[in-house]
Structure 1
């Protein structure tokens, strides 16, 4: 989901049209934002009110890939302005574009899931020239397990925070795609299974967590004060 300038919530529900939840009535309604004949996987609203949507072909599951996998940029009026789908070598750019965020310069960052084991990568784009860089995990961590990103968010300093839920890892990337810091949130913060992220104007980082299968615990949302990045 993403927040529209009106205050309404914009939702991706794996249908062709995005939906909204009204901030005044809590009513769910379809919108003019359509990727037909594809379905939506992710949605993000930029600081200059562009709508970014991750999309794929219609089929029950993400795999196998049987059609286009795209990130689509729309205007606030619903007009498609740009489609990211082929890289500089003419190959399909995405497999499952599952999460999207942008920084202060409207550079685009996408979590792309590569297989059924949820291995993935971060693809950094700009508005004109396509792929800037790709991050596939820190080599020290990759010795232990495959990089499986689940959420990302940009800070005021244009660094990107990425979570790996299963392994309780947070990666902090700079604008060039270098990992400037990583931490095990379970060991260092007592936060297990970090599964979603957001950050507010005061620099408070919100970390939403999931629970272990069949665990009786309720899922938690933590607030963390961040500074310096």
Structure 2
């Protein structure tokens, strides 16, 4: 280790290499002890600049004047493009009546700019790049796992198709068995009729032979039986075997019917590269929303739903299990670590499940079947969750003490707290102070949107936490029952959708909080949690029925 630069040793003299440094030559840039100072300047004092060690590198080195080589330039001429000039230049005719500025002032100003730029680069810009690099490294590290999940999902879908095909084949086999039974019954019936006729013919034949052999006159004379009844045999029964006519296999149609692999799409956000971003082209509202499908989850009281890009949805209710469905089929069930119901669920940018647990004051992450605590709170209970477009996590939370109940929104990057949203510009609380749920989402403008049930309002702030607007319902909808929003979500057009459970409908607002329309058809009952997928299909939880309804509302 270098003895001159070791952090575990005091600076030593560069000449004798043993004594402790006392001084410093600001021109030669060497450490000097007291005895060595004399030796160092023996070659000419004017060639050196000896300063205390603590003041090292404080001497300014002025540039030499190009016109007067024996002079140093300590000024700049503002009228000559700020060229360096010495005192002789200032007195010359060339710079008569010009404006000059001392280089030391410019030097100090530039030093401040350099320091500011250094701080900005070191403390803000560089960490931002580090964060992007870390995110991309994580994306690369998780790439195989993500695609493995995709292939597993496809394989499971293929297995389901095989099961459905087996069911169809078994059903057809049953139909064939039933047809065979009917075929047999028809043939047996006709055979029995023929055999009965044959038995009758034998009896008649015996009588005829007896009469033929007999010499008695009376039976012969009285014979009047007509065999014409037997002379015309019954028609032959012809029953064709059923045939199986397979439909031609259209491989391309079958491929499309099986499913769809969304194309790899890249889009640049504010600071990171994001894959599988929804389509941002303008999409108008449908004249009448359409119910696509209804998924029965088995919950008696269904609270939340969240979508993944591969078609899966996670759901939770008032029990301790969280269920994952795809195309209406149950894929897996996860139990909460505390055995209590989750407060809310979300999916992070890696596709891993997140859930909040009020009983333990934690936000948990489920990865590869293992549950780990991502955030642990003290004195606060986590509520609802939202993963932002840049991968941050927004959490609504509340605290209850002897004096008051407070509700806030906190932004996390990983497990590190980044932002707290509580008051407006006048110092008033943004959200009602109660323990009622407050669903949360982020729209494409990075606005943070909260459905505040107790306040009867949707509260929207910008990404810096500044209040933008509040929506308290629309008379055309809420004239029957007061507006008490539940679930909330946003689509690719920055429209905001919120569930109005009391009026059994969904309000659709534009990004400025203007009411556009509502969805009250599709036989909605007790709408609660909401989410939209990458194609802007709306998924609605029906609290009491335990169904998730998939609704198309955009053209």
- TM (norm. structure 1) is 0.83
Equivalent residue for 1:10? 354
Q: 1:190 to 1:102 in 2, by over 3 A?
A: same
Are 1:21 and 2:359 matched, yes or no?
no
Aligned match for 2:393, one of 51, 54, 58: 51
Are 1:102 and 2:442 matched, yes or no?
yes
Alignment of 1:120-139 (within 5 A): 120-139=456-475
Higher strand fraction: Structure 1 or Structure 2?
1
Residues 28-80 of structure 1, C-alpha deviations (whole Å, 9 max, x = no match): 3322x234321111111101011101011147xxxx9824310011112x221
Distance 1:41 1:65 in 2: 21
Alignment of 1:1-229 (within 5 A): 1-14=345-358, 15-22=360-367, 24-25=368-369, 27-31=370-374, 33-58=375-400, 66-76=404-414, 78-95=415-432, 96=434, 98-114=438-454, 120-184=456-520, 188-211=521-544, 218-228=545-555
Distance 1:183 1:42 in 2: 24
Higher helix fraction: Structure 1 or Structure 2?
2
* Contact residue 531 and residue 540 of structure 2 kept, 8 A: yes
- Secondary structure at 1:36 match in 2: coil
Specify every segment of 5 or more residues in structure 2 that has no aligned partner in the other structure, as ranges: 1-344
Q: 1:173 to 1:48 in 2, by over 3 A?
A: same
Distance 2:529 2:372 in 1: 24
Specify every segment of 5 or more residues in structure 1 that has no aligned partner in the other structure, as ranges: 212-217
Residues 135-165 of structure 1, C-alpha deviations (whole Å, 9 max, x = no match): 0111233322210111111011000011112
* Contact residue 13 and residue 40 of structure 1 kept, 8 A: yes
- Secondary structure at 1:57 match in 2: strand
Equivalent residue for 1:215? none
Structure 1 residue 198: Cα displacement: 1.1
- TM (norm. structure 2) is 0.36
Distance 1:142 1:203 in 2: 25
RMSD between superposed Cα atoms in Å: 2.0
Aligned length in residues? 207
Q: 1:88 to 1:7 in 2, by over 3 A?
A: same
* Contact residue 35 and residue 55 of structure 1 kept, 8 A: no
- Secondary structure at 1:140 match in 2: helix
